[in-house]
Every structure is written in C-alpha cells, then in structure tokens.
Amino acid sequence: MNDLLRTGDAPIRDPLRDARRAVGGGRFREGLHLLEGAERNAMSTAEWLLLHAMATWRVGQFNDSHASAERALTAYRERMDLDGEMRTTNVAAAGAFALGQLTEARRGFERARELARQLDDTLMAARCANNIGNVAYYLGGTEDALTLYNQAANLFGQVGSLRGTAEAWHNMGVVLVEMRRPVDARVAADRALDIAARLDDDRILGWAVGGRAEVDAGLGDLRLAEVHARRSRDLAREHDDPLTEVDALRVLAVVSRLDGQAAEAVARARIAVVHAVSAGNPFVIAKCQVELGECEAAAGDAVQAARTWKEAADGYQAIGAARRVQALRQRGRD
C-alpha cells in the first residue's frame, strides 16, 4: 500500500507520504488533491496543516495558506518543536506577505531566520534572507533588497540549492530593472535563467523567462521580450502560478507601450490588472495599475492615467510602502 512503510517486519502507516512527496517535488495541485483526500486523523496533524499551507500558497490561495500555517504554528509551538516552528513561521509569513501584511511578514521571516541560526539551518537562513529581501523590495527599499538577495544567493550556494540560487538571482534582476541598471539586470536575469534551465522544472523556468522578458524590454529588444513574456505566461498557466502569469501579462503591456502600440498596451495592461485582482496580491495589483497608468498616458489620456496612479498609490499606502507612494504621487504631478 502507498501509505505503508516497513521497518523490519512491522509496517508503519505514513498517510501523508504521497502528499509530502508531491508538495516537495513541486506538484502542488496534485499535493493539494492528496491532502484534501487524506484520512480524517491525518488532517488534524501539524504536518498536514503545514503541507496544506505550502500547497495552497503555491496555487495562489493565500488566505487558506495563511490560515493553515497559523494553525500549524500553534501546534508546533505546543509540541515545542523548533524545527516545525521555524518552517511554519516562514510559511505563515509568506502568507501574510502575499496578503500585503508586510509588517507581520517581516516579523515572521526574521523570527524564522533567528530559529534557523539557532538550528544551524543554512538553507532556511537563505530562504529567510530572500524573503526579507522581498519585503524590502515591496516597500521600495531597493538597495536593502539587493543586499539581502546577494546574501541569499551566497547562502543558497553554500548548500547547493540551485532553485534558491536561481530565485535569488531572478529577484536581483527584478530590483536592478527598477533601479534602471539594465546591463546588470541582464547579467542577473541570465544567471537565473541558466540555472533554471538546468533544473527540469518548468514552473521555475516560467518566472526566470519572465524576468528576462522585462530585461529585454528595457534594453529595447521588444521582439525577444514578447517571445519570452508569452512563454512565461504559458508556463505559468500550465503550472498554476498566478503571480508569474500576472507579471508576464504586465510585461506584454510594457512591450506594446514601448513599441508605440498605445491602444494595445492599454488593453493588455487592463487584462493584467484584472488577473492581478483575481490573484489577490495587493502589491502586484498596484504594480499593474502603475503600468496601466503609463499605458494610458502614452495613449494621451492624462486624466485617466492620473486616476489610475492614484489607485495604485492608495494600494501601496495600504501595505505601508510609503516610498513607492511618494514616488508615484510625484510621477502623477510631473
């Protein structure tokens, strides 16, 4: 039977084995299906809750993820299981992050990093550095984010985590694009893409290709940017990665705007906003609204662009990204 392990002659039931393997192997939709069909007793365990939090986050069900992680965290703390608390604190913080609760997210990631140091868990320390970098980036602290991503890449390299290294370099590329350092961004995006191509994981390849698409657009290679963005979008759809799909849709709008196709750019940007709202990540919604405003301005509708940028500024304000609010409001006055 699939849920039996053997130690000597005695079978040991392991009802979460297949779900654990699916989630650990990146097959999140399959893992979620297995978890939801698990035995009732298994569904009340801390591990089930943690696996459920991980799987639901990856398929974009952020409220469910956060709720399951909080319940798992309580269970691990009651058992005084520091390793379980560390892993679950990181996942709970990721849920808060996706919901725009950045103060809670940073607090959680920093607590998980503290536990990782206590437990000498370099891989988790790397993940936390990367995640704290994400918070810094969302808040508009690009220099801080870049430093943290560099730390994460070094730590991931120490433990041989290619996936983590690819993600850290991808994130550096995103920040460098925003800092208007396109040549450095291309180096970072290419490193992420090279590593992702070696992993035989199309989900990772999807966001790495998407990162390169935005770099291509910034460097003026719009045809290649279009190809990469479409590929990223298709891979994201195939592998239930709504945030990567939204980002690819946004980059397609950027490509049309830079190509002088203003009407098409506005249409594409509106589609990106709709998908961002569906994904439910406040930062991603605001970022897509910023691009929609740029497209509307390029189409000659300055009044509507100003309205759209105000909506984006309100979104940034709601998650505490004061630096972004200030920059966007200045953009609206220019």
Q: Is the pTM of this model over 0.85?
A: yes
Distance CA 233, CA 292 (A): 18
Residue count of the chain, please give it.
334
Distance CA 197, CA 211 (A): 13
For 276, the token pair is 């961002």
Q: Lowest-pLDDT range, 31-45, 222-236, 313-327?
A: 31-45
Distance CA 301, CA 317 (A): 24
The amino acid occupying position 69 is A
Closest among 316, 238, 229 to 281, alpha carbons compared: 316
Whether residue 251 contacts residue 217, with contact meaning beta carbons closer than 8 Å, is answered with yes
According to the model, what pLDDT value does residue 330 have? 77
The amino acid occupying position 279 is A
Distance CA 40, CA 46 (A): 13
According to the model, what pLDDT value does residue 142 have? 95
Whether residue 7 is predicted with pLDDT greater than 90 in this model: the reply is: no
The pLDDT tens digits of the residues spanning 267-306 come to: 999 999 999 999 989 999 999 999 999 999 999 999 999 9
Whether residue 332 contacts residue 309, with contact meaning beta carbons closer than 8 Å, is answered with yes
The pLDDT tens digits of the residues spanning 90-113 come to: 999 999 998 989 999 999 999 999
CA distances from 255 to 152, 219, 222, 241 (A): 31, 11, 6, 21
List domains and CATH numbers for the chain: 1-96 (1.25.40), 228-334 (1.25.40.10)
For 267, the token pair is 């249409």
